[in-house]
Amino acid sequence: QLRGKGSRESGLPPGPPTLPIIGNIHQFPTQSAYLRFTEWSKQYGGIFSLKLASQTIIVISSPRLIRDFMDKRSGSMSDRPPSRIVDITTDGLSLAVARSGPVWKSLRRAVQQLLTREACFWHTPIQQAEATQMMYDLLKQPEDFFDHIQRQTFSIMLSTVCGFRSPRYADSVASLFFSIQHKWEALIAPGAHPPIDLIPALEYIPGRWASWKTITRDIRKQQRSMYFNLRDDCERRIREGRRNGCFLEDIIDQQEKLGLTRDMVGYLGGVCIEGGSATTAAYLHRFVLCISCYPDVQTRAQEEIDGLIGFNRVPTSQDIEHLPYIQAIIKEVHRFYTSGPLGIPHATTIDETIDGYFIPKGSTIFMNIYGIYHSEELYERPEIFNPERYLNSEFGTKPNADTTGLRSDLHFGSGRRICPGNHLANSSIIMNVINLLWGFDMKIADAANRDRHVPIRAEDFTTGIAIGPKPFKCNIQPRSEKHAALIREAYAQARPTLSIFEHELTPSEQKFVEDW
Ligand code: HEM
């Protein structure tokens, strides 16, 4: 039975040499797999394979192959790899990591109602009001910018999905959510836990020698408690005749038609909050990092925005149409260090061939977004944060680069699994980027790094499926007293919109809102 195990079958794409039985297990990175995958892609090309015992892994780092294989043949490319850890934690009910099949289909159909471009239009007022509170938070406690960003992205999702908000970060449901989410993402990242899917016997090792068991059990308990409580609150409000038009109310109304169980409804709310909070927060953290480490970019962006808006009003997201350099910054932050460098892995449901290679049914497919965004064949000095590249060409690529298949939203994934939250994410990003550049000067607080261009250092980033910078210090100050006054005024005007979602605040949150 063991004969041939671990070796690369003929017809598979090339890849690093394998060892008998284990294949490439010994070389598989336990963290930041995107960096190793990118090195291998330089050696083995736009498609390469790895063997983890009998399991086949395919890594695609070519935009053309992503288009031809993952987008065009999405029907057979939209499964997720089986994962015992995911099953134990979520019972297979978490949309983002669920296997394709009737459960995923029902969940995906339901989530799309919340996230169409038209539906997102209705979420704009709360997004705008939350972005305004964040500017106000930064006036009051600039040193806590990292938490203010997380609070904001979480609170937007909580309001749209569950109909109430989280006005502060410390000791709140927002901070609890992020602590669970960071553990969850780190647990399911490629290579982060023992290979129990390949060696099922590992599951029988007693818990005291297998820390993943305790972590998995804790995350399951914490996620279910949070997500099911949010669902229960919503059901209670419906029973008491106190609807407020949130997404979960619609879902509960249509539960039968959509084929959802109560557990699925709970996980649906939870996965929207998961999908929308950490990724967008990580983007904004990266934005602040890049913009504060590249002061010349910040100055140029502020000149552009001052020329359009001046100092007599706060910006709105519609201004973005007239701000080409800031549009370029938004794209460059995605390219420079994308939130999900390998996306979420897909899996094939039938045997496939591509470019003459054989891809067996059940292969795990990684889309190496980081590798594409850092390809020297596509980008001039990809390791430098340089928004100007997007003023010179649509995709920011160098002259004569082969851009076949490249698209500007690769960071949202591919095919039928493509991120359904892209419209919501884009509008939050635009609002916050414009606000921050208009209202604040951002400088990296570490004297050694000030005014020096940041290198990309993986060790400064979290590890997990979605990554962002680890907490860092940044001096954030309003650009003038006039800006600060306009922010205070805008916050006062945003209060009525925010208060629509404040019907269930705890007494201490209520006091916070009154005193803030
Ligand atoms: C900057 C922000 C965001 C980034 C970079 C991002 C990126 C991604 C990526 C790469 C995937 C995997 C796609 C694939 O498998 O091919 C994904 C899936 C998903 N995202 Fe996002 N996302 C963001 C914001 C959001 C928001 C605001 C929501 C709102 C609810 C959301 C909800 C989801 C869900 C539910 C899935 C799973 C889809 C499925 O498996 O069918 N994301 N996202």
Quote the ligand 1 centre to 117 CA distance (angstroms).
Answer: 15
Quote the ligand 1 centre to 483 CA distance (angstroms).
Answer: 34
497-507 confidence digits (pLDDT tens)? 999 999 888 89
Predicted-complex ipTM score: 0.99
What global pTM score does this model have? 0.94
Helix (H, G, I), strand (E, B) or coil at 11: coil
**CA dihedral of residues 166, 170, 176, 181 (deg, nearest 10):** 90
Q: Pocket around ligand 1: residues whose beta carbon is below 6 Å from it?
A: 95-96, 108, 111, 115, 271-272, 275-276, 279-280, 283, 339-340, 343-344, 346, 411-414, 417-421, 424-425
- The answer to whether the beta carbons of residues 440 and 138 sit under 8 Å apart is yes
Residue corresponding to tokens 């006036």: 139
> What's the count of helices (H) and strands (E) in the chain, helices before strands?
17, 8
Q: What is the largest CA-CA distance in the chain?
A: 75
State the pLDDT at residue 450.
Answer: 54
Q: How many C-beta atoms surround the C-beta of residue 53 within 10 A?
A: 17
State the pLDDT at residue 190.
Answer: 76
Q: Provide CB contacts within 8 A for 127, sequence distance 6+.
A: 156, 424, 427, 428, 431
State the pLDDT at residue 391.
Answer: 97
Q: How many C-beta atoms surround the C-beta of residue 313 within 10 A?
A: 12
- Pick the atom of ligand 1 nearest to 346's CA: 15
Give the residue, by CA position, lying nearest to ligand 1 atom 13: 413
Pairing of strands 55-60, 364-367: parallel
Task: Tell me the DSSP string of 60-80.
Answer: E--HHHIIIIIITTGGGS-B-
Helix (H, G, I), strand (E, B) or coil at 428: helix
State the pLDDT at residue 2.
Answer: 59
Q: Provide CB contacts within 8 A for 85, sequence distance 6+.
A: 187, 188, 193, 196, 212, 216
DSSP state of 284: H
Pairing of strands 352-354, 357-359: antiparallel
Quote the ligand 1 centre to 411 CA distance (angstroms).
Answer: 9
Quote the ligand 1 centre to 420 CA distance (angstroms).
Answer: 6
- 312 burial level (CB within 10 Å; 0-12, 13-18, 19+): exposed
Residue to mutate, 126, 369, 419, 433, ligand 1, most ligand atoms under 8 Å from C-beta: 419
State the pLDDT at residue 453.
Answer: 59
* DSSP helix, strand, coil percent of the chain (3-state; round to 5): 55, 10, 35
Q: How many C-beta atoms surround the C-beta of residue 272 within 10 A?
A: 27
Nearest to 410 by CA among 328, 340, 462, 345: 340
Nearest to 190 by CA among 333, 93, 55: 55
The whole-angstrom separation of Cα 341 and Cα 465 is 8
Quote the ligand 1 centre to 204 CA distance (angstroms).
Answer: 34
The whole-angstrom separation of Cα 39 and Cα 163 is 45
Three-class HEC string of 196-218: CCCCHHHHHCCHHHCHHHHHHHH
The whole-angstrom separation of Cα 188 and Cα 193 is 7
DSSP state of 392: H
Q: How far is CA 120 from CA 123, 246, 247, in A?
A: 5, 12, 11
Quote the ligand 1 centre to 422 CA distance (angstroms).
Answer: 7
Give the residue, by CA position, lying nearest to ligand 1 atom 32: 275
The whole-angstrom separation of Cα 447 and Cα 432 is 26
Phi, psi of 287 (to 5 degrees): -60, -50
Q: How many C-beta atoms surround the C-beta of residue 310 within 10 A?
A: 9
Three-class HEC string of 217-243: HHHHHHHHHHHHHHHHHHHHHHHCCCC
Phi, psi of 47 (to 5 degrees): -140, 125
Nearest to 2 by CA among 20, 15, 29: 20
Per-residue pLDDT of the chain (516 residues; tens, 9 = 90+): 556 778 899 999 999 999 998 999 999 988 889 999 999 999 999 999 999 988 999 999 999 999 999 999 999 999 999 999 999 999 999 999 999 999 999 999 999 887 887 888 888 999 999 999 999 999 999 999 999 999 999 999 999 999 989 999 988 889 999 899 989 988 888 777 777 887 777 888 888 888 888 999 999 999 999 999 999 999 999 999 988 888 999 999 999 999 999 999 999 999 999 999 999 999 999 999 999 988 999 999 999 999 999 888 999 999 999 999 999 999 999 999 898 999 999 999 999 999 999 999 999 999 999 999 999 999 999 999 999 999 999 999 999 999 999 999 999 999 999 999 999 999 999 999 999 999 999 998 765 655 555 656 777 888 878 888 988 889 999 999 999 999 999 999 999 999 999 988 889 999 999 999
